[in-house]
Chain A
């Protein structure tokens, strides 16, 4: 009760604080030379109030205060403490409050960290950010308050969806939000810089850190979601092209492109239109993601509530932001002195431009695949679902030239360069093709296509390795990230090509044998846990004289009453052994699904390497 009240009223006061911030900012913008300290103080107060409000919700969850509607809907007394806390952001209302926390936190950090920049620019960024913050405050208080009171107070809550009760998923939303919301700072500051005609090398250098921070968090957030999907959903896949995964991939693609554009802006004062448009696009796509997920317009595991009113609010807000930013862009933006068509063909600028167009292509494929079904449904009432084949067909062929460009681009210099000393690249390319030829040779898959695809991935792989030796620490951040990317593509390809799967129905004591494995269902044990009953199967699997014991689990949760299947995964350096069980109609038998998935670990490692590239880039600047 008490915590809900504290939370609710600090939320209201937090909104009111926006008034003095606006007032002093406008006053300060016109008159003085230095930034008024009051603005920073008020920003801090706003941050403080939002954090208090958030803690209010956290404590309501910890003490299972069921007079709070959000707690009632998403918690239960038997839930472990850790998941009570993570339940705070495992729902629509709480996750929006978390958005607000991150929004206010980031603008406060921005104000502190930008002391040596133009005053007007700082204030204008703050004002744009305040528009977003106020939008979220109003949305939160008006249509999705986390502090609604219910009377009479229920004895027990409805519980958190068990598939969300998982450590990776407990931290997945906050990490992803840091990425999403970080892009709001980029958005506001790009608009402010455009208005003041401040798009310059200094600005690029300053905003690059924010781009890196959001990019790292977004990458990690996507990784966590993917890891969770892999071992929790029990399908043995890590990426399903689910609309909700796509909406996190789209800002990532746009942010990655932005990261490359910023480099050109920083070094060559060019591509400023690209930079501005991408800054706007990244945040708009993040918001669009929130809209698609929260409004219930899409059906997915992430959809918390189907409430058109909420959707309408975000939708309108989103389009208001788009219109404001487009107007600012068209009215204030002056194009570069350095036209992009003046770039020399063989130069880093050109290859980044090529990279941009590739990324835009990938982005549009994902965007169309995600929202086309909605459009089709509205216009012609046809329901379709766009699945992996669409994305694979449109994306994979274009990976070949993309990978080759990733090899060539970083080899080139800024402004102008030749290819004199690059003859070894041709040699590398043929070696890569040869290796991939020997790998593909005996497999029954499309020969030519796969050879070239794997060949170009190897090409990038070897070239980046060579760069480590050749250049050492110079440009190591880019090299690590690109190396990680080649490793990612290789692992995904090998994972797809060499995965094997076996599905059979077994009961205790039975065994199944084919020419590769023998699976024996040894035992089934029943455990009573705090909030679920667990059935743990014991399987021994023999392959090439190696025996493994795997214990997949079925959990029957009491609140809400849901059965989840917990995979048991034996991870080694090169393969994952993955087993799940499921009930079948006939009680004694279990549906057993056993998969051998090579290079799974390397998919995660390579994404971490890509992140590491970003991290190094972030910290390297400070030491230099």
Chain B
């Protein structure tokens, strides 16, 4: 009698193992940790040229790529990366948003008038708190954003290699 129970239990057990493995076969075993994808913190801010107040929830919600670039007129490396941004701005698949960091309005306007404006919107961060909310650690810093998620962040000025990388993302 006890032997029969053992057979029965063994058979049940192996059937269970079989079914589990069978189901496991059809599942994808690819796994992307969530921590790589940060969502964008919500904040509102004035803009440099327009009088309107923009909310971040409203900006990044279209089905396209965004590049959020933190810059300042007093920041020397920002001058170096600016031509790359202007070039990239010609690409219609990506929209570049600026975040002007701890800057004087007039100097910022002078900077844009002198070097050109790759940004569709320039948000203002006079106190530097918005950059903190984004988790930025310095200027310049750039975030590649898609579907309201930060998919890649670049510390320091962009260069031609990084631009190529960004272009390969949006292709």
Contacts and interface: CB of A to CB of B under 8 A. Distances in A.
Closest 3 CB pairs of A and B: A308-B25, A378-B23, A311-B25
B22 A306 contact: no
13 contacts: A295-B25, A296-B29, A298-B29, A299-B30, A308-B25, A311-B21, A311-B25, A319-B14, A322-B14, A326-B14, A330-B3, A375-B20, A378-B27
A282 B120 CA distance: 66
A261 B22 CA distance: 34
Contact of B21 (A323, A330, A374): A374
Interface of A: 291, 295-299, 306, 308, 311-312, 315, 319, 322-323, 326, 330, 374-375, 377-379, 383, 587
B135 interface: no
A330 B6 CA distance: 10
Contacts of B7: 326, 330
B27 A377 contact: yes
A23 B102 CA distance: 89
Interface of B: 3, 7, 10, 14, 18, 20-27, 29-31, 161
Contacts of B23: 378
Given A319-B14, A322-B14, A330-B7, A378 B29 contact: no
Given A299-B30, A326-B10, A383-B31, A319 B24 contact: no
B71 to A, nearest CB: 20
A159 B29 CA distance: 25
Contacts of B31: 299, 383
A394 B148 CA distance: 43
Contacts of B10: 326
A312 B22 contact: yes
Nearest to A311: B25
Contacts of B24: 297, 374-375, 377-378
Contact of B29 (A299, A322, A326, A375): A299
Contacts of B29: 296-299, 306
A374 B22 contact: no
Nearest to A295: B25
Given A296-B29, A297-B25, A297-B29, A315 B20 contact: no
A104 to B, nearest CB: 28
- Consensus secondary structure, chain A interface: helix
A298 B21 CA distance: 11
A326 B23 CA distance: 24
Contacts of A291: 21
Q: Identify the interface centre among A308, A330, A378, A587: most chain B CB within 10 Å of its CB.
A: A378
A319 B15 CA distance: 9
A291 B25 CA distance: 10
B14 A312 contact: no
A194 B30 CA distance: 44
Contacts of B27: 377-378
Contacts of A378: 20, 23-24, 27
Contacts of A323: 14
Given A312-B25, A319-B18, 18 more contacts: A297-B21, A299-B30, A299-B31, A306-B29, A308-B26, A315-B18, A315-B22, A315-B25, A323-B14, A326-B7, A326-B10, A326-B14, A330-B3, A374-B24, A377-B24, A378-B20, A378-B24, A378-B27
Nearest to B29: A299
A70 to B, nearest CB: 23
A447 B10 CA distance: 44
A383 B23 CA distance: 14
A584 B146 CA distance: 25
A507 B22 CA distance: 51
Nearest to B7: A330
A308 B28 CA distance: 10
Q: Identify the interface centre among B10, B14, B29, B30: most chain A CB within 10 Å of its CB.
A: B29
Nearest to A316: B18
A375 B25 CA distance: 11
Nearest to B15: A319
Nearest to A298: B29
Contacts of B30: 299
